[in-house]
């Protein structure tokens, strides 16, 4: 049976939450229209991830921890709720780009399951920067820290929506990028 030409908002929400989070949401359709609708709904998944991250930070502040520990929790929660998907992709990208190889070889490096030195360095620096920025925000006020965690969750997934525009081609013909691009 051929895939439908369009997807409902519910299909998009299921796709976004089912593929971008560990939340127990069953993806009922894995086709191009559902994937595209899912990318449109990705910021909503980011809103939930960011809100849970903010809640973890606020809970620790309420229990008397300082801003640094609240920031660590607010950075760790999205990693757990997304199965590390965004961190894995960042490390893969850093390894591929850092290899200095031609595009085809860089894509092969990015597809490998291990992590290379550029990936490790990038993850350490990014996680340290995120933690420092959130610690500063929580130090200023609990509302600023919580808002920063929520906004980061939404904006990170909004970038996925923007990258799924028809004008942005996928890197390879298979996978999620190919399902949502062009």
Give pLDDT tens digits for 63-106: 999 999 999 999 999 999 999 988 999 999 999 988 888 888 88
If phi > 0 it is left, if psi is from -120 to 50 it is alpha, else beta; for residue 101 that is beta
Segment 76-82 long-range contacts (CB within 8 Å, at least 24 positions apart): 77/49, 77/52, 77/53, 78/49, 78/50, 78/53, 78/152, 78/153, 78/156, 80/22, 81/21, 81/22, 81/23, 81/49, 81/52, 81/53, 82/20, 82/21, 82/22, 82/49
pLDDT on residue 55: 99
Reported as a pLDDT band with limits 50, 70 and 90, residue 163 is: confident
- Distance between first and last Cα of the chain: 23
pLDDT on residue 2: 60
């Amino acid at each position: 049976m051929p895939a439908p030409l369009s997807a409902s908002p519910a299909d998009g929400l299921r796709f976004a939450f089912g593929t971008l989070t560990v939340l127990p949401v069953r993806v009922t359709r894995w086709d191009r229209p559902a994937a595209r609708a899912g990318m449109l709904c990705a910021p909503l998944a980011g809103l939930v991830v960011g809100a849970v991250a903010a809640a973890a930070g606020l809970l620790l502040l309420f229990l008397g921890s300082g801003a640094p520990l609240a920031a660590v929790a607010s950075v760790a929660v999205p990693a757990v709720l997304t199965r590390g998907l965004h961190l894995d992709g960042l490390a893969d990208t850093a390894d591929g780009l850092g290899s200095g190889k031609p595009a085809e070889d860089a894509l092969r490096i990015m597809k490998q399951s291990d992590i290379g030195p550029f990936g490790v360095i990038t993850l350490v620096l990014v996680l340290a920067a995120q933690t420092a920025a959130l610690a500063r925000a929580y130090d200023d006020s609990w509302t600023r820290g919580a808002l920063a965690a929520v906004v980061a969750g939404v904006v990170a997934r909004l970038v996925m929506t923007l990258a799924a525009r028809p004008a942005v081609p996928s890197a390879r013909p298979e996978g999620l990028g190919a399902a949502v691009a062009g």
